[in-house]
Amino acid sequence: MTGSLEHVAHAHGEHMLAQIDRMPGAGDMVGTATPAELRARLDEMHAFLTEVLIPHIAATEATLYPELERMFQNVHSMAPLRREHAEVRRATAELARICTHLGEQRISVGEAIALRRVIFQLYALLKVHLAEEQVYLDILDRREAPEMSEALAAAMAHPGSPEV
């Protein structure tokens, strides 16, 4: 059984933030860690982005955003958050592109700059985005009937989501 929307949203948020808060450490590893250590951390971060975060984005866009747009009576009210989702997808693809060119040797200065840039851009964007999304979830949870809240919470179950 799924919990309330508030409970599910909180569990999702905590799960996401735990991984997102590790991103600056990965950025700091660039240029200081061995290529193997860096590769392992980047692979872990990419797996989180593609297996947990992007499915969360898809679930949010499919379930919560339409309900929020209905409530706010504006089909474009979630457009800024949708654009941020597109930027997360773009930056994740850029991270994957950069990682495919990393070899067993120390990375070049240019690669290091590009890699640090994408890691810290993702970190900053995600920190702000999840905080803003939480504001919308709080509004939605307070305004919806319990059965709608439960239906939205159930719809938020996706691969990589925490068990609640």
For 103-148, what is each residue's pLDDT tens digit? 777 888 999 999 999 999 999 999 999 888 888 777 776 765 555 5
The pair of three-digit structure tokens given for residue 91, joined into one six-digit string? 């930056």
CB 102 within 8 A of CB 38: yes
pLDDT (0 to 100) of residue 63:
83
| Cα distances (angstroms) measured from residue 160 to each of 15, 20, 49, 136, 152 | 9, 14, 10, 22, 17
Hunting for tokens 């933030």 — which residue is that?
17
- CA 98 – CA 14 distance, rounded (Å): 28
pLDDT (0 to 100) of residue 77:
78
Q: Give the alpha-carbon dihedral of 24, 26, 29, 33, to 10 degrees.
A: 160
pLDDT (0 to 100) of residue 134:
81
Where do the domains of the chain lie?
A: 5-155
To 10 degrees, what angle do helices 5-20 and 146-155 make? 30
- CA 157 – CA 163 distance, rounded (Å): 9
Interior CA angle at 134 toward 116 and 28, to 5°?
15
Instruction: Report which DSSP code applies to 104.
Output: S
Neighbour-count burial of 32, counting CB atoms closer than 10 A to its CB (0-12 exposed, 13-18 middle, 19+ buried): exposed
Note the pLDDT tens digit of each residue in 49-108: 999 999 989 988 888 888 888 877 876 678 899 999 999 999 999 999 998 888 777 888
